[in-house]
Amino acid sequence: MKNLRRRIFLLAFFPLSMSLGGTARAQVRPGGKSVGILSNGITANFMVGPRWSVGAQVQRQSGVWVYGLRQRRFFNPGAPRTNFFFALEENLVTFDVDDIQGRGWTAGASVGLIHFITPRLALEIDAGPAYLDLAESTGEVANRGLEFVANAGIGWYWGGR
């Protein structure tokens, strides 16, 4: 039920906010920084060039912790409001769910967009495939394979040239 409410909120809020942000003009800029709140975590990013950013994120949900690094390549960084990107992500995962403990890693690729609703505040969404390799602390494989991952959040941007 909690996930259903979250999905309904995102489906209703994201299109509404895109229509309200009609006058916001902002750009992802080289040297710029951002911090954000994801649907279940936090993120920090730094633009390292005109089209590239690197970042770190921490996410938690129901006994699962995810610590990750992400690289994004922007297709249109000078666009006035909406910036599309391709991302690569690597994560360390730890879990303690229903008396089952373990750890593992994920690696994935995604496509997404950042839409500025004010000159500094932006909505972010991305989705794509991710490979998971998780094992219980006893060494048994808990989950291995390809999954579909989606992220949504809001980011605060500042700085840059």
Task: Give the span between the Cα atoms of 82 and 11, in whole angstroms.
Answer: 18
Task: Give the span between the Cα atoms of 158 and 7, in whole angstroms.
Answer: 29
- 39 close to 6: Cβ distance less than 8 angstroms: yes
pLDDT at 161: 67
Q: Residues 117-127: what's their mean pLDDT? A: 94
Tell me the pLDDT of the chain averaged across its residues. 85
Q: Is 40 helix (H, G, I), strand (E, B) or coil?
A: coil
Q: Residues 32-46: what's their mean pLDDT? A: 94
- 130 close to 107: Cβ distance less than 8 angstroms: yes
- CATH, range 2-159: 2.40.160.20
Tokens of 57: 């994120």
Task: Give the span between the Cα atoms of 22 and 12, in whole angstroms.
Answer: 17
Q: Is 119 helix (H, G, I), strand (E, B) or coil?
A: coil
Percent of the chain with pLDDT strictly greater than 70: 83
- Tokens 């690197």 correspond to 54
CA gyration radius for the chain?
A: 17
Q: What pLDDT digit, counting tens, does each position of 61-120 carry?
A: 999 999 999 999 999 888 889 999 999 999 999 999 988 899 999 999 999 999 999 999
Task: Give the span between the Cα atoms of 65 and 103, in whole angstroms.
Answer: 9
